Structure 1
Amino acid sequence: MRNRNQIYLYIAWIVSIVATLGSLYFSEIRGFIPCELCWYQRILMYPLVLILGIGTFQSDFSIKKFVLPMALIGWLISFYHYLIQKVPGFAEIKPCVNGVPCSAQYINWFGFITIPFLALTAFTIIIILMFLLKKSSSKYY
């Protein structure tokens, strides 16, 4: 049980690192300017690198209570952002007024993979892994 939990934490940590590095690649190397919703997703993903990293190396499975709310909120924002990009007329509900419009699609791989879709995937994997975490049965004295 403990080894499995450790693996779940480690994978979640790696996913958060890849998502963070991916977002930095798109903005700093490719020069894509993040929209308002992209910033909210970053605000929720970046701290997960530290929280999951600390939890992984200290075998602290109680971090689930911090990671899960952040990942769930990030998932909701990513899903909403993806709907703005892919559902015609949905962007009119809340237009982004500053800078880049949230409906802009810098990438559109295979006709459905956009940057918010990548964030949605990362948040989904982290959420699933947090739900798979079980409380450790061993007692610490």
Structure 2
Amino acid sequence: MNKKLENSLLSIWVVSLVATFGSLYFSEIRGYEPCEMCWYQRILMYPIVIMTTIAYIQKNARIAITTAVFAIIGGSISLYHYGIQKLDFLTDSAPACGLVPCTGQYINWLGFITIPFLALTAFIIIAALSFYMMKVLKEEK
């Protein structure tokens, strides 16, 4: 595996690890109970750490397809979740989300950075790196 692929795979691992620890920090240390949509985002983020760990050890850059799929689905959920937090027309019609409302904002840094925004940022970075890896793999053939 060439250095571009190796560094991209390592970067995906770092981003997913930071996102995983960040979500655990908010829930386990700060005591913020995740809503249902947060759980779906976690379900899609946490396995990326495991997948990329194994792929890095095996030097398997073809995992990029899988990480891209996880990132696109997770990013879509994050984008919708962010939308129901920040856009009035979505907030008013937001579905009930269990014990913790999905419209709640535990953090609101700089007036726009919420937990789903952080997750969306991580998913976008992972998707971009995954597509870059797929491009490099295609060029190598």
Which TM class, normalised by the smaller chain length? over 0.9
> Which protein has the bigger helix share?
2
What residue is the counterpart of 1:96 in the other structure? 96
Aligned length: 138
Q: CA deviation at 1:8?
A: 0.4
TM-align CA RMSD: 1.5
| Aligned-pair CA distance for 1:68 | 1.0
Matched-pair contact (CA < 8 Å) for 1:41–1:78? yes
> Is the CA contact 1:36–1:96 (under 8 Å) kept in the aligned structure 2?
no
- Tell me, which stretches of 5 or more residues in structure 1 are unaligned? none
Hey, which bits of structure 1, 4+ residues long, moved more than 4 A? none
| Native 8 Å contact 1:37 1:102 kept in 2 | yes
Q: Distance in 2 between matches of 1:43 and 1:114?
A: 19
Same amino acid, percent of matched pairs: 52
CA contact (8 A) 2:33 2:100 kept: yes
- TM-score with structure 1 setting the length: 0.93
Question: Aligned pair 1:135/2:134, yes or no?
Answer: no
- Cα gap change, 1:29/1:9 in structure 2, threshold over 3 Å: closer, same or farther? same
Cα offset, 1:59, TM superposition? 1.3
Q: Any unmatched runs of 5+ in structure 2?
A: none
- Equivalent residue letter for 1:52: T
Counterpart amino acid of residue 13 in structure 1: W
Cα distance, 1:2 vs. partner?
1.0
